[in-house]
Structure 1
Amino acid sequence: MLIAAFVGITTVGGRAADSYVPGEVLIAPRTGQADAVADMLSRHRRPIAKRSRFSDIVAVSVPVGTEQAWIDIFHADPAIAYAELNGIGEGGVVPNDTHFGSQYHHRNTGQSGGTVDADIDSDLAWDITTGSSDIVIAVLDTGIDSDHPDFSGRIDPDGFDFVNGDSNPEADHPHGTWTSGCIGANANDGFGVAGVDWNCKILPIKVLNSANLGTVQDLADGLNYVATQTDVSIVNMSLINYPSSPSITNAITNCRNNGKILFACAGNSGVGTANGSWPGASPDTITIGATDRFDQRASFSSTGSAVDFVAPGHSIATV
């Protein structure tokens, strides 16, 4: 029942999967080698651009255009576990609609010419349960509109903004609010739309900026923070086009080792591309492709061995 909410916010978007922050390199010291790495950076006169809060990963400033050369230098240092570009990923794009009747993914009656029962049968599931306030879902995205009435009483206060480095993960791009609405908008209240879970708590983790873009460092930091949150059971990453990254891989493993179930998008780049779009390409995420109102693969939805399930994910109405 939850799966469709996690996939249903990605439509066609586009940017190069090999994008990265110019003039930055991420490095991670080996265990017990943080001081040695600090000494090495001092010798090379390389300032730190940004420290991670929940790991030893740091972004090091280097001259633009010399990133790969510095990665090679750092790899040669025995105190450094790995070095990599600070890659850039993104959130998907969704439409904004406030009418439950348009939410075909819950119950498809053929509205807008769709195929009857091309849905997740939310209405049948709600006859059994409408969710639980004991469930906390971490949403790694652009943040959330905390004043939106569809989230009244539903936002966990321990959210964090890793883009700006503060405890106020307020959305400056609507993607995170849309995503959270698919998952857990208040329901049966005569207003707006209905989320899949009417009672869960949303833990907003801001890892994307106002342009709907985010860095490897911030995503990894957000995941490592979520790993420390004992009340979180589910992690949603409606994110695409991050590069394969040891920082992200280690952070996902950290979450898995702490009992989290992680969901991710397959991607937006079409046939045969899912295996190159992280975090969904990770074998430790449950990766969801998108179908449309006709129960067919959405034309943009990535395919590949990384895809575990498909569910409605095209033109999903949300808050």
Structure 2
Amino acid sequence: MKHVVRIASMVLVLFMLAATGWSGQAATGDPGNFMPNQLIIGFRPGLSNARIKRIVTRMGGRILGRVNMPRVKARLVRMPASTQEEIDANIAAVKKTAAAYKGKILYVEKNGIERAFRSIGDSNILSQSADPQLADQWGYYDTGANTIPLPSRRAPTVAVVDTGVDYNHPDLRGRVIKGRDFVNGDRDPMDDNGHGTHCAGIIAANPANGFGISGISWKSKILAVKVIGSDGWGTTFDVVQGIIYAARKAGVKVISLSLGGEDSPTKKAAVQYAVVTRKRLIVAAAGNSDTNSTTSSYPAAYAIDFPGQVLAVAAHGKDHCRASFSNYGNWISISAPGVDILSTVPPNQIRNLAGTPSNSGYGEWSGTSMATPFVAGAAAVLWAEHPRWTNTMIGDQLIDHSTKSFDPLNRDGTCWPADGSTFGRLNLPAAMEAGDPATCGFGVVAGTAMDAESGEPLAGATVYTKSGRRITGRDVVPWWGQLTDPDNQSLLTEGPGLFTITASPGGSDQDLHVVKKGYARPVFHDIPVPADCTSVNVGVLPVPPNRGRYFVTITWTEPNPTVAAYDLLAYLPDSQYIGWLDWLGANAYYNLGETTAYPWARYFWDSYSTTSILRSQAESIRLVKTLPGQTAIFVNDWQNKAGSTLWSTSGIQVFIYKWSGGGLKLVQQFSPAPGSGEFWYIADISGNKLTIRDFLTDTRPGSGS
């Protein structure tokens, strides 16, 4: 009967606490470090649910939630309390009860508060528009995501356990799987804070959809799990439920946690269940407290207990120095971009600095919260490439092949603390390849794909290299791209429409295909693909919309118009010129032509009169119909005029498309023959007959002199 007396005394204590007049209402605003009226009690896993309920009832508590794991059955219990003393008394009473039940109660803890690790006061809201913003994603390039092969396999789902995700955001539409909302107790994880949507965009925003940004894992979907409310905080128990829920979902291999709080046996058990029992990889934010302490950095700090299975992520800026807010220390696994990171936010939910709703759908935020999804997305990309690898293999690969050797983090006490830490920054290409560059076996084919009619990047087009019947590499043309050294990630060049195909294997001449719906589908032959991790640049590749009889484009590489400047012209059979008639001197003028009526030809822009990077080094003419007689196609070097010898050094070349077999086909691509002259006579067109002339002359075609 001794244990009965102890139980009775426990019940008496709890009833006395209830008599203090505490209202029992849910806390509003920020509750501090824990929920005042809730405890988490861990029971031995062999106990039945009915037995657990009887024990809790005898203690005067009420079960609010439950999570069953292999090593513990955790129960969220409501216990009346309003002061710290009463909470401590509750915990002490439960511990006494635990002694009476001889191991049936494993532990008791407060239901702590978990916070989203976004740095406060650094939001820069950007307006949503149709203008793609990949060029503003410095973190995307910093991780090397722009140089890896375009994934051909579906990547695993990444669970974003956070404030929910705005699944209606246009850059996330079709990418989000609706999971549970543990804050409101429903199945609608809509984001009412913005934090989770921002993290989700970094991982899996729709790539190459013509606007917005691109996520790092092109083939992943996001499982949205809401455990944090609109104020940016949630409870330990809700986070535990979110981790367990995500770990049990089919298809999920990576769990991204841009949040944290104090150490908790329940939270640790949930992490252990996820990474040991369910074999998931947890990627967690190290925290924004500017400290090497792990006090408020769990679950990230569980990287100490589960190395390679839990990754603790610090944040760095564009200079690769520690972000001023980022936690640090030898318990960190890896660093990733975390300052001024552009990503998706829920339109109309985020308020600007004036406190009014913003119509934006994108924002630049900072925090280890932003660094974490870069690593989570990279893990998904790596897992897609190696689907049989374990979570530890994926985690170790990212850690071991982070940037340590050629550009290590500067631990001089100012950039990063000189604390003996050895972690590096995220380097996705190194993790993907992890080989000796001298024997890596692949090469990078870079180039610029241009809409030949508008002079804009051919964004969204697929480009791929092919050796025989085998596709060796793919990419999608961005609005703005960068070419970086595959070995050390140093920037080689950047610009509009710049694609980079990682072709593997290399070491042979291959064909380059450009494909976009509604456009011609040219094939560029005999591209010499290297095999030593170096790159070859094929220059600007103009691709016209798939209409018209002929389409002619010239491009050149000399950027200075005072050195070389060209006009593309067509001389029609009726003695009319289409193009810019520079030889008329002060009376020079455009003759743009017309495609829906006579003369059935159109000159699209003047390269000298534009601020566009691509249009300033290219010109195009379309022939919708051919008039009876002969049309001459030629180029005028109006800068150097008679006797010009700049043709061989300016990089100029011509691309001629001709309608055949139901579409425009690239039939000629060449540079001027050796010689000198003001004009490059390219070809004559007469009906369906194309006659290549290719010679330099000081006599203007059609002028007779």
| Global fold match (TM > 0.5) | yes
- Structure 1 contact 266–306 (Cα < 8 Å) conserved: no
Report the TM-score when normalising by structure 1.
0.84
How do 1:301-312 residues align onto structure 2 when only pairs under 5 Å count? Answer: 301-312=326-337
Equivalent residue number for residue 52 of structure 1: 66
Query: Would you say the 8 A contact 2:256–2:284 is kept in 1?
Result: yes
Change in CA separation of 1:131 and 1:276 when aligned onto 2, cut-off 3 Å: farther
Q: Tell me, in whole angstroms, the C-alpha distance in 1 between the residues paired with 2:152 and 2:257.
A: 20
- Equivalent residue, structure 2, for 1:248: 267
- What letter matches 1:308 in structure 2? S
Question: Which has the greater radius of gyration?
Answer: 2
Greater mean alpha carbon deviation, residues 72-81 or residues 308-317: 72-81
Q: Give the deviation of 1:217 after TM superposition.
A: 0.3
Q: Secondary structure at the match of 1:85?
A: strand
CA distance in 2, matches of 1:131, 1:192: 23
Question: Deviations 1:260-312 (Å, cap 9, x if unpaired)?
Answer: 01100111011313464111111231011000011111011001222011111
Aligned match of 2:137 in 100, 103, 114? 103
After superposition, where does 1:1-319 map in structure 2 within 5 Å?
A: 19-33=33-47, 34-48=49-63, 50-52=64-66, 56-62=73-79, 63-65=81-83, 66-76=86-96, 77=98, 78=101, 79-93=104-118, 95=123, 96-97=125-126, 99-107=133-141, 119-125=142-148, 128-130=149-151, 132-157=153-178, 159-240=179-260, 242-256=261-275, 257-274=277-294, 276-283=296-303, 284=306, 285-319=310-344
Per-residue deviation, 1:53: 5.3
In the aligned structure 2, how far is the partner of 1:167 from the partner of 1:153?
17
- The offset of 1:134, in angstroms, is 3.9
What displacement does 1:85 show?
0.3
> Aligned to 2:37, what secondary structure does the other structure show?
strand
Q: What is aligned with 2:351?
A: none
For residues 252 and 313 of structure 1, the distance between their equivalents in structure 2, rounded to whole angstroms, comes to: 24
| Cα distance in 2 between the residues matched to 1:313 and 1:248 | 25
SS of 2:271 mapped into structure 1 = helix
Per the alignment, in what secondary structure is the counterpart of residue 38 of structure 2? strand
User: Once the two structures are superposed, what CA deviation does each residue of 1:189-239 show, in whole Å capped at 9, x if it has no partner?
Assistant: 121111101221100111101111111100111111122113111110011
CA–CA separation in structure 2 for the residues paired with 1:17 and 1:302: 24
* Distance in 2 between residues matched to 1:84 and 1:60, nearest whole Å: 10
Query: What residue identity is the alignment partner of 1:29?
Result: F
- Higher strand proportion, which one? 2
Cα deviation code 1:29-63 (max 9, x no counterpart): 21233433322322232223x21355542222221
Contact 1:274/1:303 (8 A) holds in 2:
no
* AA at the equivalent of 1:172: D
Name the CA distance, whole Å, in 2 between partners of 1:249 and 1:17.
Answer: 23
Distance 2:248 2:58 in 1: 34
**Aligned-partner SS, 2:247:** helix
RMSD: 2.0
- What letter is aligned with 1:147? N
Residues 80-102 of structure 1: CA deviation (Å, up to 9, x unaligned) = 11110000011122745463222
Q: What amino acid sits opposite 2:60 in the alignment?
A: R
On the 8 A contact 2:290/2:326 being kept in 1, the answer is yes
- Which amino acid letter does the alignment assign opposite residue 74 of structure 2? I
Percent identity, please: 30
Counterpart code for 2:287: G
Q: How many angstroms apart in 2 are the aligned matches of 1:54 and 1:162?
A: 16
Q: What is the TM-score normalised by the length of structure 2?
A: 0.39
SS at match of 2:138: coil
State the alpha-carbon separation in 2 of the partners of residues 268 and 179 from structure 1: 16
Stretches of structure 1 lacking an aligned partner (at least 5 in a row): 1-15, 108-118
With over 3 angstroms needed to count, the CA separation of the structure-2 counterparts of 1:132 and 1:155, relative to structure 1, is: farther
Distance 2:297 2:289 in 1: 9
Q: Once the 2 structures are TM-superposed, how far is the Cα of residue 258 of structure 1 from its aligned partner?
A: 0.8
- Matched with 1:7 is none
Structure scoring higher RCO (CA < 8 A, sep ≥ 6) equals 1
CA distance in 2, matches of 1:243, 1:266: 12
- Alpha-carbon contact 2:263-2:295 (below 8 Å) kept: no
Read off the aligned partner of 1:253 and give its amino acid letter: Q
Asked whether the equivalents of residues 131 and 197 of structure 1 are also in contact (C-alpha less than 8 Å), the reply is no
Q: C-alpha deviations, 1:168-207, integer Å up to 9, x for none?
A: 1111110000000011101111211111012211001111
Partner SS state of residue 106, structure 1: helix
* Alpha-carbon contact 1:17-1:277 (below 8 Å) kept: no
CA distance in 2, matches of 1:61, 1:265: 29
Tell me how many residue pairs correspond in the alignment.
288
